[in-house]
Amino acid sequence: MRKPRVTAATSGPDGLAPASDVAAIVAGTHGDPFAVLGVHEVGKGLFARCFVPHAETVTAYTLTGIEAGALSRRDDAGFFEGKLSIRKRQPLRYHARNAGGDWWLTDPYSFGPVLGPMDDYYIAEGSHLRLFDKLGAHVIKHEGATGVHFAVWAPNARRVSVVGDFNDWDGRRHTMRDRRDTGIWEVFIPDIGAGRPYKYEIIGPDGVRLPLKADPFAFKSELRPATASVVAVPPAHEWGDEAHRNYWRNADPRREAVSIYEVHAGSWQLHDDGTFLSWDEMADRLIPYVVETGFTHIEFMPISEHPYDPSWGYQTTGLYAPSARFGDPDGFARFVDGAHRAGVGVILDWVPAHFPVDAHGLAHFDGTALYEHADPRKGFHPDWNTAIYNFGRREVVSFLVNNALFWAEKYHVDGLRVDAVASMLYLDYSRKAGEWIPNEKGGRENLEAVSFLQKMNKEVYGHHPGVMTIAEESTSWPKVSAPVHEGGLGFGFKWNMGFMHDTLEYFSKEPIFRKHHHNDLTFGLTYAFSENFVLPLSHDEVVHGKGTLLGKMAGDDWQKFATLRAYYGFMWGYPGKKLLFMGQEFAQRREWSEARALDWNLLDFRPHRGVWQTVRDLNYLYRSRPALHGRDCEPEGFSWLIVDDSQNSVFAWMRNAPGGSPVAVISNFTPVPRDNYRVPLPKAGKWREIINTDASEYGGSGMGNGGIVEARAEGKNISATMLLPPLSTIMLELVTEAD
């Protein structure tokens, strides 16, 4: 509800503020300065009161320049008050003087609230879906003045103030209005604009002043190691991506080609002096590279503000602010728009599972466990030393749901890949017996987190058709990518961690031993269509001593390159969307580090260039052949041709989809060429070899079938006899069906 500007207790019969109020304002301990400062009716007249440190005299004026009266100094610290000559209550400007000069300031306490009763209602209900338009710092025009409206949730605080360079970081000068029904504090500060750093000074419920806090809804932040929030310029980018967005609004992403290039923005490329590229520089380099390499989407590891580079962004303190490492927020908008105009989608890694405990962040934000669960058995993550969001608190759920909607609306992102979903779903995740609290039914499932994820997915898909959500979920939790109304979590896709684990385990074996591990590659098809899967070869596999994908392949250098190319062919022919971490498309040799750029010079060497060309051509085939993507998530699009030839480590299957010719995928994972090898095929006729990862142009041996194989009918069976090159994957497409 809107608060009154004056109460009976704020004025004596002479119109002067009680001495106790004056002392509390000067000391910065008054919990409701709007009841003391500003313009107040006393009897039939108006009084003004202000706190202007360093001033010796203060004269009040209306915003139109009419003098309203000189104020008397009640306290040498800068408390002034006096009767006004105007009859209508209105915002005031003050002309202050001291021996050093004079200055003007507009009184924030002479303005009414910005938030209204409907905001209070929806915020309290937890149903407000435009919190990012109400909370945080917004440059607005209010009651005839231009300034910044600040609003922050801190329900247990005794006092909250905005501090910044505009008030000498003095928490006494811009204490905020407490909207007690919601726990929101707000103040409109006139005469300041975008670009000003600020934080919140909060006095906790025990009267202790907390470390200065960054704004949870900050839309811009200072560059680390500085940690202040920054008043952002209102978004000014003019978007030109409507064609891209319309396409995806009307598409079923399960039946589209989705090939994702996973990128760490801080280390894909760097300047020669080791500094970061700006978003505009990244747009000039990364977008053309992705287009040339054939990926459909870029997925950025978290780009929201975070204090510690080695966290890779997964420990964020500013969920609403694109990191200052890469320039202004508008630069990120320009990047997304440029990618869309080039036909490339942008997916963000999003971290609603936990947050770091840095003093300026969300931890104990108002002196209590506010965003995190108070009980460390639910509120502290033992693996990452982070705090876990309290998913049972509607305000926290609103904060996170609004953030998902914010990135979709304000920055037009095409998807959110939600990090660490498994840690959210299970109360006993990484905990021993006695270290976790069962749910109300006695189980280990975090029912509150489940409810949050379902709500987030419903709101994202309901408000932003065309935006996809992807779960990084490593367990057998059912229906992760099923709709909420069917009992699912509501994600569009789920990472297939089993595919990544099993295939990498298989290819780490020497070829002679692979026949004993044949099941590592066939087992995945028993569950391949239980979810809408993305096949990830992610950053997690190329850090912390795990080496690189090239290094994981068994054999000598030639075999490593050949196996990696064959592996990519296998993966691009396998049902499921694709994801590849940066550098692995050209067989990076050094393990990835966030502190250095990729080794781009490797592209000058034929084996590495050959891997890149393989990935480029696979992406082209995947996008251009409906059979390879149109039924990625449906069993009708897949059928085995050869599943049990473990002795020769050969695998073959068909991919089918409406609108295109069928494609056969055949892999030989030994260094032995298989001549006169018989492969059953569904139709007699000529089948064109549309890729052969052993081709000489890729750095292979150049063995093959001259580009064509012919399938013949022998009784009821149809098959083709062909050469399977060593350590290779080939794909065949029906081009001429036999009469």
H-state helical runs in 511-605: 519-522, 549-552, 557-573
* Cis, bond preceding 225 (omega within 30 deg of 0): yes
Alpha carbon distance 469, 419 (integer Å) = 11
CA gyration radius, the chain = 31
Instruction: Write b or e for each residue in 48-81: b if 16 or more Cβ atoms lie within 10 A of its Cβ, otherwise e.
Output: bbbbbeebebbbbbbeeeeebbebebbeebbbbb
**Burial class of residue 621 in the structure, from the number of CB atoms within 10 Å of its CB (0-12 exposed, 13-18 middle, 19+ buried):** buried
Reference 516, options 643, 649, 641; nearest CA is 649
Alpha carbon distance 660, 629 (integer Å) = 10
Alpha carbon distance 19, 28 (integer Å) = 14
Alpha carbon 612 to chain centroid distance? 28
Q: DSSP label at 20?
A: H
Q: Following DSSP, what letter does each residue of 312-363 receive, concatenated?
A: TTSS-SEEEEE-GGG--HHHHHHHHHHHHHTT-EEEEEE--SEE---TTSST
Residues annotated as part of the active site: 419, 472
Find where tokens 């209590």 sit.
368
Reference 729, options 568, 575, 606; nearest CA is 568
Alpha carbon distance 408, 466 (integer Å) = 10
Alpha carbon distance 304, 644 (integer Å) = 47
Q: Are the beta carbons of 286 and 326 closer than 8 angstroms?
A: no
Report the sign of the C-alpha dihedral through residues 265, 269, 273, 274, in that order.
positive
